[in-house]
Amino acid sequence: MCFEKELFVIEGEDSLLINADETLTALCSTINERTKTPKMTFHPFLHRYDLTVYDKHIFVNEDGFLFSKGPKKYRAAWDMLADALGKWTAEEFINGPIEKRCVSHDPDGHRYYLTDPVIFERNIVITDEENDPVAAIPLQFHVILAGSCDNPDIEEFSVCVEDPKNISLLQGVLDRLESKICLTPTDGLVRQWESEHFKRLECCRKEYDKMTGAFLRILDDEHEQEDIIPLHRHLPVLPYGSGLKRFISTWLEKETLSFDLGFEKWLLEGRSEEILRRFSNDRPDLGGTFKTMLRKLLNKVHETGLPPQFPEWIQAYREYTENKIVLKKELEWFRKPCQGANYHEGLSCAEYSKLKEKR
């Protein structure tokens, strides 16, 4: 899980490099793998260092802002975080980037702040033993200042961590630095995560119901004449067996290809030669029809120009184009001279070539 440095360390930016120990490296790897799951939520309570005792708390609200206790709770969280990181104090910002961007002078020469909210982005970059970046935590430092530089009328500072997974990573960094700070999501954030979690569970339940219903319709012999081809959208790739053979038989009876070639892509799934060989062996009466359909499919994927029913801008056309590319590669073997192999005898191209050599 090694990333190029330029992804996280940008020249001119004030990044903070944290060398990870074994625990933090494992956390980075875990989160990197889990982010492949859409909308995966990471709770910092799940990623604590063992036997860590916390005596300070920073809370995280539903917008990702950090805060602590007291009237200036956002500034207090900023100060605690900066103290733990040893970097990015409010004073450093005031004397550095804020001085450059937010300070003006009145006609009498007095310095004053007059600015809309300003956001400064900084990265905590986590590196491995070879100092190569393995993860980054983007932080947003929000600043609002107005009035005299000596005594501002408005002075607000806050830090935001937008992505839920970065809350867990930040907790790992704080543990690595032995800050004794516990990041604690508020009730609102937890409810938001729980709501997203239950939404995903409901989506999974609906997909499960569709998949179960599709399987039952395949297994139900009373639906022998019913068009089962649309069911493939709710099914995983089927192994070769009675269910797949029902789909093949229905496909051959229709003698037409699906409008976006999605069914053919699902049916063959990179194993067209094996399926043709086995199906022709099981159903010799339909083996020739199967090869005819494959030839029709091969001609289709080599057609040029836009099909009239697919305007170029619609999603169905993009899917059709992508499926054509996959199927063109899938059927390369069928264009070879050995495509006439005797599949009624259950021979593959390789086996048929060897047989011809012996003859």
Q: Is the pLDDT of residue 206 over 60?
A: yes
CA triple 114-115-117, angle to 5 deg: 150
What token pair was written down for 163? 């992505």
Mean pLDDT of 201-210: 85
Q: What is the pLDDT of residues 324-335, one digit of tens each?
A: 889 988 898 887
- Given a contact cutoff of 8 angstroms between Cβ atoms, the answer to whether 140 and 120 are in contact is yes
Q: How far apart are CA 25 and CA 262, in angstroms?
A: 41
Of the candidate ranges 18-22, 93-97, 309-313, 340-344, the one whose mean pLDDT is the lowest: 340-344
**Which backbone phi and psi does 140 adopt, to 5 degrees?**
-115, 120
- Per-residue pLDDT band for 37 (boundaries 50, 70, 90) equals low
- Per-residue pLDDT band for 26 (boundaries 50, 70, 90) equals confident
Residue 147: which residues within 8 A CB-CB, separation 6 or more? 112, 113, 153, 154
What token pair was written down for 55? 């005596």
Residue with tokens 């793998």: 33
Q: Would you put residue 230 in left (φ > 0), alpha (ψ -120 to 50) or beta?
A: alpha
Q: Is the pLDDT of residue 311 over 70?
A: no
Q: How far apart are CA 14 and CA 123, in angstroms?
A: 8
Q: Is the pLDDT of residue 124 over 90?
A: yes
Q: How far apart are CA 245 and CA 228, in angstroms?
A: 12
What per-residue confidence (pLDDT) applies to 87? 94
Q: Percent of the chain, pLDDT > 90? A: 25
> What type of residue sits at position 185?
P
Residue 123: which residues within 8 A CB-CB, separation 6 or more? 8, 9, 10, 13, 15, 16, 136, 137, 138, 139
Is pLDDT larger for residue 222 or for residue 213?
A: 213
Q: Is the pLDDT of residue 102 over 90?
A: no
- The SS3 call for residue 154 is strand
Residue with tokens 């940008």: 10
What per-residue confidence (pLDDT) applies to 65? 93
- Per-residue pLDDT band for 142 (boundaries 50, 70, 90) equals very high
- Per-residue pLDDT band for 158 (boundaries 50, 70, 90) equals very high
Is pLDDT larger for residue 138 or for residue 198?
A: 138
Q: Is the pLDDT of residue 8 over 60?
A: no
> What type of residue sits at position 8?
F
3-state helix, strand, coil in the chain (%, to 5): 50, 15, 30
The per-residue pLDDT of the chain, averaged, comes to 80
- Per-residue pLDDT band for 355 (boundaries 50, 70, 90) equals very low
pTM score of the predicted model: 0.55
What per-residue confidence (pLDDT) applies to 6? 39
What per-residue confidence (pLDDT) applies to 48? 64
Mean pLDDT of 73-78: 94
Mean pLDDT of 206-228: 77
Q: Percent of the chain, pLDDT > 70? A: 77
